[in-house]
Amino acid sequence: MFPTYVEHPRNVKFEGQDPDEKIILLLRAHPITNLPWIFFVIVLFFTPFFIPSILIMAGLRLSMFPQTFQIIFLIIDYLLILSILYEGFLYWYFNFTLITNKKVIDVDFSNILYKSVELAPLPKIEEADSTTSGIIGSLFNFGDISIQTAGAKVAIEMKDISRSAIVADIILDLAGKPHDHSKEEHI
């Protein structure tokens, strides 16, 4: 439904796309990276069910609080859940990378009012390094990719990308550079 690694995606266009430019890869962070905020939403969802037990352990009763306060607490709890769900999904869905036959485009969505678009033309790409770290990254095959252009600094950094080593190799192949597999880190 919401794939994280798509080769030659259909019906995908972007602002500033040249007529002869073709999208080769559409990339997003691995879905497993959403688990922290999803876990937090689940905890918030079940919190109202455990409040009476917690109050009893504290020597209080739920009936001590006015009905209005209880309703306001529930409304605030579920509005908080909805806002975390909304922002978490938007952050994951709208942080993506496009690799075309001409350039690499990284779109970072920080919040509803701010986005950053970084471009790296393929001929200017000097290095593309992938780093897979930790047990989760190794089990689910995702990691970070750093792309360096002719300048000394890192031009684009992509976090938690599925199949990061393959993606780095594809970028270097498109840029016409050999890939040094010895630089990949596996921890």
pLDDT score, position 179 = 55
Query: Does 41 share its domain with 121?
Result: no
Asked if residue 99 and residue 86 are part of one domain, the reply reads no
- Looking at residues 165-178, what average pLDDT do you find? 88
Pair (128, 57) in one structural domain: no
Tell me: do 105 and 172 sit in the same domain.
yes
Indicate if the pLDDT at residue 52 is higher than 90.
Answer: no
pLDDT digits (tens, 9 = 90+) for 78-119: 999 999 999 999 999 999 999 999 999 999 988 778 888 899
Whether residue 17 sits in one domain with residue 105: yes
Its pTM surpasses 0.85: no
pLDDT at 58 over 90: no
Residues 145 and 118 in one domain: yes
Domain residues for the domain of 49 are 36-90
Asked whether residue 59 falls in the same domain as residue 13, the answer is: no
Residue 187: pLDDT band with limits 50, 70, 90: very low
Cross-strand partners of 128: 147
- Of 21-30, 90-99, 161-170, 173-182, where does mean pLDDT reach its minimum? 173-182
CATH number of the domain enclosing 20: 2.30.29
Domain co-membership, 15 together with 105 = yes
Query: Total structural domains in the chain?
Result: 2
Residue 180 has pLDDT above 80, yes or no: no
One domain for residues 102 and 176: yes
Phi/psi at 39 (nearest 5 deg)? -60, -45
Q: Are residues 105 and 81 in the same domain?
A: no
Task: Using pLDDT thresholds of 50, 70 and 90, give the confidence band for residue 63.
Answer: confident
Question: What is the per-residue pLDDT for 53?
Answer: 84
Residue predicted with more confidence, 58 or 141: 141
DSSP states along the chain: ---SEEES-SS---TT--TT--EEEEEEB-GGGGHHHHHHHHHHHHHHHHHHHHHHHTT--GGGS-HHHHHHHHHHHHHHHHHHHHHHHHHHHH-EEEEESSEEEEEEEEETTEEEEEEEEGGGEEEEEEEE-HHHHHHHTEEEEEEEESSSSEEEEEEEEETHHHHHHHHHHHHT----GGG-EE-
Q: In the chain, pLDDT over 70 holds for what percent of residues?
A: 92
In a domain? residue 187: no
Residue 184 clears pLDDT 60, i.e. is over it: no
In a domain? residue 86: yes
Instruction: Please give the average per-residue pLDDT across 4-8, as a whole number.
Output: 92
Identify the band that residue 186 occupies on the pLDDT scale cut at 50, 70 and 90. Answer: very low
pLDDT for the residue 75: 95
